[in-house]
């Protein structure tokens, strides 16, 4: 039961709940702590003024509080009012559980009553310390909240189970350990006191004496005082209102607000909710059992990784010792790589163990708490918290799904040192002249009709000459850096088609291919010049080149970005852009030059003219969201252009295309917006954290926005709060100007705040973070807003 202790402590004081009350959000708080965090609201915010104006319709009026703290412009934590113009502000404090607590704006008036019973100041407001939901109290004050007697009973039992051995209640000095308990007297006795004060004769002979432990259980099961109605304090709860989901008395049904609601018998609903909670616990119990077995598996993996690491290092050392002294430095490098992989695997597994252990502890604590609640014999008290517990149990069970119980790392080391070819070459260096040389493969031929570019990707295809008799074991594809620099290998393998992603927009690349076998490598093929996409004001047309569906080209990220991925791609059709500007060199014009007689496959473009209009610098990229790199909770539709989420927590999804130069603009429309969430829009690195809001780490630059205002965020730093939010149907624009190294945001074609971020360099992917309350649709290839175009032209 120790893991249940967190469920029994107040989030404000950090101690066990004392006289806990249930807030409308289903969270609990000590009555004294609730009084401590009350703040007084302006007269215009009071329930009376709202009812007078006809805007108030409920007993508790929730406040639309500013999500920025009044003490720091860069703090985006959610808190309650810290003071108004009429009252000095007081710095916020932190409870032992890390929850921020704002003291009352005005000191409480002197009173003879205890703090829990003292009258609440008029127009008081309270903010839940767990979900930060705020509400204004009515005339009843804190008395309007029901007391959680079930929670009190669970705390009593927990504290009794943690207490030391039961002592005699009649010993005058140094109480001895009790040996029996009288059920009629409800007193614990040691043997001397029992003989002296409770002799087994006369009327006392009929009393039943039981062991102390059994007597403590009897005390737990003793009936408690029947709960009374919060609106009619002299009446007991007798029915259950289905619409309001709360116990009510008969006066509430006759004259109160529940008179027209559907009601059911209290006992029947008590049994029904107990059954529902028990069924929910069955599923959670299975998850907890699987989690325990999973933890054992992870701990075994740590040992296996240690053993594999030692074995692999010994093998590596033995292989390196067989080489000549000149290879010793290389041996040290290889050992460093193995150790790095070893530490990486251990870190991943240990992190997963830590994460899973914390989650399992929370799950076990919730299970034990629910089991204790089920033991409670108070129907009305149980029904007050049963709905919230059922929701928590289902939510916790869902959190154990979707790959949570799958190891993130294997125990095997995917490294192997193959020294036999090198040793063979060393031993044969003196005898090469004595062997008959076998021929190298013929030079491959580029298939121009199947080569193409699309956005910042290029697809190349090649084949062996028809009359070649020497087979090739593989091919090596090389590209330069797009600026006439050195060639680099981007693919080595047996395939004859490859797609390279992540190239720079508006750049000219040179590509060449060669074949190899055991004897050596062939000559390079003729150089092919490739032009990636760009945008001009001239009329555009797209020229499709079909790629046979049976060909499966390999897709690889550009070597000039920070990530290299080799994965299969299955395009049915490839495209490149053809433009009529004389200063553009596209693949189509390159192919025409390549087919010309006497062409040497090398073509240079004319110098670019000086462009002033920002739209002429804009590289148009058509892309969608990437399911492969997104969090598992993200839900895709509309050909991966529309996304939402299945979780209440923020999850991140990236675009398929990365940008490293040029000007790029895309928009997102809000298809659904419920309960005022805070979606975030911006750009991120490929290795950004996917399970937190965009901008929480140093791999993302974002703007998060609600229905009233927005903030910029990078590395969990919040800046530039700007008025103006979003609703259903709103359009958010993201402008990434890598020529000026800036990132700017727009809402409904108007710039939102100043330039959000400057000095942004590197490879960026469009990114969005959202939860289940938001759905957005991506629009690409749209023109940049006129307001930015005009300013850029002037600059």
157: left (phi over 0), alpha (psi -120 to 50) or beta: alpha
Compute the distance between CA of residue 323 and CA of residue 427 in angstroms, rounded to an integer: 11
**Residues 669 and 712 both lie in one domain:** yes
Tokens, residue 189: 């006795």
Is 430 part of a structural domain of the chain? no
Instruction: Give 428's contacts (C-beta < 8 A, 6+ positions apart).
Output: 435
**Domain encompassing residue 297:** 275-401
CATH number of the domain that residue 148 is part of: 3.30.40.10
62, part of any domain: no
In which element (H, E) is residue 197 found? Answer: helix 191-197
Regarding whether 733 and 681 lie in a shared domain, the answer is: yes
Strand duo 497-501 + 554-557: pairing:
parallel
Are residue 691 and residue 718 in the same domain, yes or no? yes
Q: Write the CB contacts of 5 (distance below 8 Å, at least 6 apart in sequence).
A: 158, 365
In the numeric block, which tokens belong to residue 666? 């895309």
| CA pair distance 37, 765, nearest whole angstrom | 44
- Coil, strand or helix at 204: helix
Identify the sign of the CA torsion 575, 580, 585, 590.
positive
**End residue of a domain, out of 493, 516, 531:** 531
Query: What is the rounded CA–CA span in Å between residue 750 and residue 678?
Result: 19
Same domain flag for 379 and 500 = no
Last residue of a domain, one of 479, 506, 531: 531
What six digits make up the tokens of 260? Answer: 């027209």
Could you tell me if 144 and 36 lie in one domain?
yes
The answer to whether residues 132 and 190 belong to one domain is: no
User: How far apart are the C-alpha atoms of 230 and 145, rounded to whole Å?
Assistant: 7
For residue 617, which of 558, 665, 667 has the smallest C-alpha distance? 665
Helical H runs in 400-436? 420-427
Using CA atoms, how far apart are residues 339 and 352, in angstroms rounded to an integer?
A: 20
> Distance between CA atoms of 681 and 732, rounded to whole angstroms?
8
Please indicate, yes or no, if residue 542 is contained in any of the structural domains.
no
Burial readout 345-355 (b: 16 or more C-beta within 10 A, e: otherwise): bbebbeebbee
Structurally, the chain folds into a number of domains equal to: 6
Residues with Cβ within 8 Å of residue 500, at least 6 apart in sequence: 457, 458, 459, 460, 479, 490, 491, 555, 556, 557, 558
- For residue 418, the model assigns a pLDDT of 78
The strand pair at 663-673 and 124-127 is best described as: unpaired
Q: 739 lies in a domain?
A: yes
607: tokens are: 């110098």
Q: How many residues does the chain have?
A: 795
What DSSP character marks residue 725?
-
Domain shared by 251 and 317, yes or no:
no
Asked whether 396 and 285 are in contact (CB, 8 A), the reply is no
CA distance 773 to 675: 7
Residues 462 and 446: their CA atoms lie apart, in Å, by 4
Do both 771 and 676 map to the same domain? yes
Which CATH number characterizes residue 776's domain?
Answer: 2.60.120.920
Q: Cα 69 from chain centroid?
A: 24
Q: Is the dihedral of CA 304, 307, 313, 316 positive or negative?
A: negative
Whether residues 358 and 466 share a domain: the answer is no
One domain for residues 674 and 785: yes
Examine residue 425 and state whether it is found in any structural domain, yes or no: no
DSSP state of 170: S
CA 666, CA 781: separation in Å to the nearest integer? 7
The tokens 């600059």 sit on which residue? 795
Asked if 393 and 280 touch (Cβ cutoff 8 Å), the reply is: yes
Q: What whole-number distance in Å separates Cα of residue 326 and Cα of residue 337?
A: 19
Shared domain for 467 and 496, answered yes or no, is: yes
What does the angle CA 249 – CA 252 – CA 253 come to, to the nearest 5 degrees? 95
Q: Which residues of the chain have pLDDT under 70?
A: 1-2, 40-122, 161-165, 215-227, 256, 316, 319-320, 323, 402, 428-438, 534-620, 789-795
Residue 60 lies in a domain: no
Assigned domain for 476 exists? yes
Six token digits for residue 118 = 């003292």
84 touches 42 (CB < 8 A): yes
CA distance 550 to 552: 6
739 and 652 co-located in one domain: yes
Lookup: tokens for 267: 């006992």
Residue 461 belongs to some domain of the structure: yes
Name the residue among 723, 693, 691, 689 with its Cα closest to residue 706. Answer: 723
Please name the residue that has the structure tokens 């055991």.
Answer: 518
Q: What's the half-sphere exposure (Cβ side, CA atoms, 13 Å) at 659?
A: 32
SS (H, E, C) 651-669: EEEEECCCECCCEEEEEEE
Given 261, 284, 315, the domain boundary residue is: 261
Enter the tokens of residue 616: 């002429």
């Amino acid at each position: 039961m120790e893991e249940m202790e967190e469920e029994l402590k107040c989030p404000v004081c950090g101690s066990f709940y004392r006289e806990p009350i249930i807030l409308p959000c289903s969270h609990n708080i000590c009555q004294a702590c609730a009084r401590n965090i009350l703040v007084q609201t302006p007269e215009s915010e009071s329930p009376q003024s709202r009812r007078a104006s006809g805007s108030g319709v409920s007993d508790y009026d929730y406040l639309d509080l500013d999500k920025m703290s009044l003490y720091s412009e860069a703090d985006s934590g959610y808190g309650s009012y810290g003071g108004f113009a009429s009252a000095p502000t007081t710095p916020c404090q932190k409870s032992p559980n890390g929850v921020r607590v704002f003291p009352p704006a005005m000191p409480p008036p002197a009173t003879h009553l205890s703090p829990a019973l003292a009258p609440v100041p008029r127009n008081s407001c309270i903010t839940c310390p767990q979900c930060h939901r705020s509400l204004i109290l009515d005339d009843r004050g804190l008395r309007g909240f029901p007391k959680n007697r079930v929670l009190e009973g669970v705390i009593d039992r927990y504290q009794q189970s943690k207490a030391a051995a039961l002592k005699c209640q009649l010993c005058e000095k140094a109480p001895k350990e009790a040996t029996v308990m009288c059920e009629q007297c409800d007193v614990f006795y040691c043997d001397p006191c029992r003989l002296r004060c409770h002799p087994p004769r006369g009327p006392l002979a009929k009393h039943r004496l039981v062991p102390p432990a059994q007597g403590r259980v009897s005390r737990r099961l003793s009936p408690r005082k029947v709960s009374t109605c919060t609106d009619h304090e002299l009446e007991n709860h007798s029915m259950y209102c289905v619409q309001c989901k709360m116990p009510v008395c008969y006066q509430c049904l006759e004259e109160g607000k529940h008179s027209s609601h559907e009601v059911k018998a209290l006992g029947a609903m008590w049994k029904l909710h107990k059954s529902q909670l028990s069924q929910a616990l069955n599923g959670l119990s299975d998850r907890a059992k699987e989690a325990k077995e999973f933890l054992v598996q992870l701990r075994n993996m740590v040992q296996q990784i240690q053993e594999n690491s030692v074995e692999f290092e010994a093998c590596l050392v033995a292989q390196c010792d067989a080489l000549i002294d000149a290879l010793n430095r290389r041996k040290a490098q290889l050992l460093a790589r193995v150790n790095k992989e070893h530490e990486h695997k251990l870190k991943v597994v240990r992190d997963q163990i830590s994460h899973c252990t914390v989650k399992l502890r929370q799950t076990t604590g919730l299970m034990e708490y629910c089991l204790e609640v089920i033991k409670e014999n108070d129907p009305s008290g149980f029904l007050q918290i049963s709905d919230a517990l059922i929701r928590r149990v289902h939510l916790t069970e869902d959190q154990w799904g979707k790959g949570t119980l799958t190891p993130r790392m294997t125990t095997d080391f995917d490294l192997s040192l193959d020294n036999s070819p090198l040793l063979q070459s060393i031993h044969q260096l003196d005898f090469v002249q004595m062997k008959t040389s076998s021929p190298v493969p013929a030079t491959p031929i580029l298939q121009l009709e199947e080569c193409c570019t699309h956005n910042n990707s290029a697809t190349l295809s090649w084949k062996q000459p028809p009359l070649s008799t020497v087979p090739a074991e593989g091919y090596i594809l090389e590209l330069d850096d797009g600026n006439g620099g050195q060639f680099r290998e981007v693919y080595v393998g047996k395939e004859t088609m490859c797609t390279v992603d992540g190239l720079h927009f508006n750049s000219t690349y040179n590509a060449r291919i060669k074949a190899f076998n055991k004897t050596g490598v062939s000559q390079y093929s003729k150089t092919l010049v490739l032009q990636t996409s760009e945008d001009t004001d001239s009329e555009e047309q797209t020229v499709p080149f079909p790629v046979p569906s049976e060909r499966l080209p390999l897709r690889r990220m550009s070597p000039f970005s920070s990530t290299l991925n080799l994965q299969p791609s299955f395009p049915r059709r490839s495209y490149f852009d053809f433009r009529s500007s004389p200063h553009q060199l596209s693949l189509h014009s390159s192919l025409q030059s390549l087919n010309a007689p006497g062409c040497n496959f090398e073509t240079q473009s004319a110098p670019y003219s000086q462009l002033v209009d920002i739209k002429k610098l804009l590289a148009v990229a058509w892309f969608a969201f990437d399911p492969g790199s997104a969090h598992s909770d993200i839900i895709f539709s509309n050909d991966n252009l529309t996304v939402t989420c299945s979780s209440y927590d923020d999850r991140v999804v990236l675009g398929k295309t990365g940008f490293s130069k040029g000007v790029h603009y895309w928009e997102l429309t809000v298809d659904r917006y419920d309960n005022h969430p805070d979606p975030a829009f911006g750009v991120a690195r490929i290795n950004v954290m996917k399970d937190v809001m965009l901008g929480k780490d140093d791999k993302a630059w974002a703007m998060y926005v609600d229905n009233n205002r927005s903030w910029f965020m990078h590395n969990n730093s919040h800046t530039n709060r700007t008025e103006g939010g979003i609703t259903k149907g709103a359009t958010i624009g993201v402008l990434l100007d890598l020529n000026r190294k800036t990132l700017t945001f727009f809402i409904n074609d108007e710039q939102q705040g100043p330039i959000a971020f400057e000095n942004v360099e590197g490879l960026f992917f469009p990114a969005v973070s959202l939860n289940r309350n938001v759905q957005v649709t991506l629009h690409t290839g749209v023109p940049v807003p006129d307001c930015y175009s005009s300013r850029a032209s002037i600059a």
